[in-house]
Amino acid sequence: MKVVPLGAGQDVGRSCVLVTLGGKTIMFDCGMHMGYNDERRFPDFNYITTEGDFTSRIDAVVITHFHLDHCGALPHFTEQRGYHGPIYMTPPTKAICPILLEDFRKVAIERKGETGFFTSQHIKDCMKKVVPLHLHETVWVDDELELRAYYAGHVLGAAMVYARCGNESVVYTGDYNMTPDRHLGAAWIDKVRPDVLITETTYGTTIRDSKRSRERDFLEKVHRCVLRGGKVLIPCFALGRAQELCILIDSYWERMGLTVPVYFSAGLTEKANRYYKLFINWTNQKVKESFVNRNPFDFKYIKPWSRDYVDLPGPMVVFATPGMLHIGMSLEVFRKWAPDERNMLIMPGYCVAGTVGAKVLSGMKVVEIDQYSQVQVNIDVQNLSFSAHADAKGIMELIRQASPRNVVLVHGEKSRMSYLKSKIMGEFGCPCYDPANGELLEIETGQDVRALMSDQLFQAAWAKEQERRQKSAVSLDDSVVPAATPITQLPIRGVLFLGDGKRPARLLDPSEFDLDDIPVVSASGVEGESSSGEDATVAAGVDDLTLSSGSNQVVFSTRRVFDGTDLAERMGLPSSVDVAAAALLAIRELLLTDTATQPTDVGATRGKQASVVRVGRSIELSVPAKTTECDLPSLHVSWAWEEEELATQVLVVVNRVLG
């Protein structure tokens, strides 16, 4: 599988990731960067082709939600660069996306005087190509490529997308929130076990405090500022955090009996409420229940804003768009109120580098608004995170839910990605990558093996699970109460016999076959020997299965080939050191930290006999001799059937060291 970020690679903004799976190419998101006003605003589409034939190279475009850093370049790509293929997005995103695109187009052309920008007609023509993508509905792009959307929280209509083609699959999260808020639910996904999970990392190093304490802190700061006669500016985007904070302020004003005016500057408020009513099923359960009696988005204390109010005396609270202070009404109000130290600026979300919001949060006291003007920043600046992005804990939870084989980090700063990358590899033992923009990432994907399971093996596993549940049943007054929950997951331990093309693969219980009757099949590049000294029988497969006929022992083995140069750099090894032996030593040191996996024997001799680390009764880790077929460093791991669970723990440590 190939993954290339054209935007949001070690950066926030301009989200655009190309994924090629099963011979099909998908563009996930097509956003613009809010920190630039030149050609860097859009993704580098020339990476795909310089000839303009995008339709033959891209099978589908998928937009996860309506924020401009995820959809802002779409009309440019389709109408000005010539992509005419299908575009997939959820119904709320399809409804709201053109409104935000048109609003941004007006600002860029009418207020900034930019030329060559996409037109209103371009936006309309672009939306005609959109195919609705409903939650949990499988949509077939063609006979091979399928898409399925999952609820992402974040904003109304946001979705994570699962894509599959042949034996390869990927999950692209877009932006998501694992914590429910006052109007949206938490993100959720099935345990789809994709080959690759591509996740945002905006707050990859942050673990937020409780939502209730953040809300209390926010309300106290606002109340304190208006009591001293100051004005409060809260930059936010018209949909999403705006509704969240307005619900909070409106209920607090009613509870406290406050009369200080509260305004909302976005002309989109009325339309926003209409869409929340139309797509009520995308909100949380509390909003759905209260909607029957009263629209929770019809605010009692929040009034429409007029430009004339900016110079009025006395305290007030203003919600103004957009949220990063890069253009629009929020920037105009900030320019007026910034010099007065009685006023307060509350930044509730993330600001992309290069925007006025990012400069103010960095502590700059003189900020350049444009090439002609600067402003003195005396205003009280507060950064209270109400961002609807997952924090580090939420990202780890989503990985746990989806259970991917590989993880790719995007939409975050490189420093934050580095920390999260090591945490993911340590906890889940799966490879993790953080490619930069334009960097091609090629990921090896395993092939699924479909097998027929014998009735005897299934019945034995079912009986074992029932016995385990019976032992863990709760005892009340000497009567045993069995567990009431149904069996939804059943661990199966059997021997896999791969088919020969005519016969399908079979998963059997060891008691169902005679080891002496199994023919010997040689596996190229693998040398096996039984504990009795006789030739081992090897069934070629994903991992090598050795059936030692002399001792009636089923032994599994695998060879882990790895990048020696990368490992040497990470471990700080000189070029003269044997990387494989050093890796084996590092693995041994990690195994020693856990009593369950402590090695029982270590041999350090080199030459004819490779170094060996032994764990338990049968698990062996060794450095095999290099072959003519592969001169890359590798480690050989083998284990007996009886110690498969312990071997799994050992393999997690191996993957953690080798990367």
Banded pLDDT at 482 (limits 50, 70, 90): low
Banded pLDDT at 219 (limits 50, 70, 90): very high
C-alpha to C-alpha distances, 644 to 453, 542, 544, 545, nearest whole angstrom: 19, 16, 14, 13
Q: What residue type is 29 in one-letter code?
A: D
Q: What residue type is 31 in one-letter code?
A: G
- The torsion angle over the Cα atoms of residues 515, 521, 527 and 532, rounded to 10 degrees, is 20
Q: Is the pLDDT of residue 322 over 60?
A: yes
Q: Which residue has the higher pLDDT, 109 or 603?
A: 109
Mean pLDDT, the chain, rounded, equals: 84
Length in residues, the chain: 659
CA distance 659 to 649: 15
Q: Is the pLDDT of residue 380 over 90?
A: yes
Q: Which residue has the higher pLDDT, 168 or 34?
A: 168
DSSP for residue 228: T
Tokens of 106: 């007006």
Contacts of 417 (CB under 8 A, 6+ apart): 10, 201, 204, 409, 434
Contact 389, 179 (CB under 8 A): no
Banded pLDDT at 601 (limits 50, 70, 90): low
C-alpha to C-alpha distances, 532 to 528, 535, 612, nearest whole angstrom: 12, 9, 19
CA distance 417 to 183: 29
pLDDT, residue 629, reads 56
Q: What percent of the chain has pLDDT over 90?
A: 42
Integer distance in angstroms from the first to the last C-alpha of the chain? 18
Residue recorded with tokens 């097998």: 451
Q: Which residue has the higher pLDDT, 582 or 160?
A: 160
Q: Name the residues annotated as catalytic.
A: 200
Q: What percent of the chain has pLDDT over 70?
A: 87
Banded pLDDT at 2 (limits 50, 70, 90): very high
Q: Which residue has the higher pLDDT, 278 or 546?
A: 278
User: Is this structure's pTM higher than 0.75?
Assistant: no
CA distance 498 to 540: 8
CA distance 124 to 94: 11
Averaged pLDDT, 412-425: 88
Condensed to tens digits (0 to 9), the pLDDT of residues 234-291 reads 998 767 778 888 889 999 999 999 999 999 886 655 666 678 778 988 988 888 888 7
Condensed to tens digits (0 to 9), the pLDDT of residues 21-76 reads 999 999 999 999 877 877 888 999 999 998 889 999 999 999 999 999 999 999 99
Q: Which residue has the higher pLDDT, 435 or 210?
A: 435
pLDDT, residue 549, reads 40
Banded pLDDT at 545 (limits 50, 70, 90): very low
Tokens of 307: 């430009």
Q: How many CA atoms lie within 13 A of 96 on its CB side?
A: 33
CA distance 230 to 577: 66
CA distance 409 to 454: 41
- Which of 103-112, 313-322, 369-378, 549-558 is predicted least confidently? 549-558
Chain Cα centroid distance, residue 407: 8
In DSSP notation, 339-404 reads T-TT-EEEE-S---TTSHHHHHHTT-SEEE-SSS-EEE--SEEEE-----S-BHHHHHHHHHHH--
Q: Is the pLDDT of residue 328 over 50?
A: yes
Q: Is the pLDDT of residue 183 over 80?
A: yes
pLDDT, residue 553, reads 59
pLDDT, residue 557, reads 79
Condensed to tens digits (0 to 9), the pLDDT of residues 76-122 reads 999 999 999 999 999 999 999 998 899 888 878 876 677 788 999 99
- The torsion angle over the Cα atoms of residues 318, 322, 327 and 332, rounded to 10 degrees, is 0
CA distance 87 to 127: 8
pLDDT, residue 207, reads 77
Condensed to tens digits (0 to 9), the pLDDT of residues 488-544 reads 778 888 888 776 666 778 888 877 766 555 554 433 333 333 333 333 333 333 344
CA distance 15 to 352: 12
Task: State yes or no: cis peptide before 322, omega within 30 of 0.
Answer: yes
pLDDT, residue 517, reads 54
Q: What residue type is 434 in one-letter code?
A: D
CA distance 215 to 569: 45
CA distance 604 to 384: 56
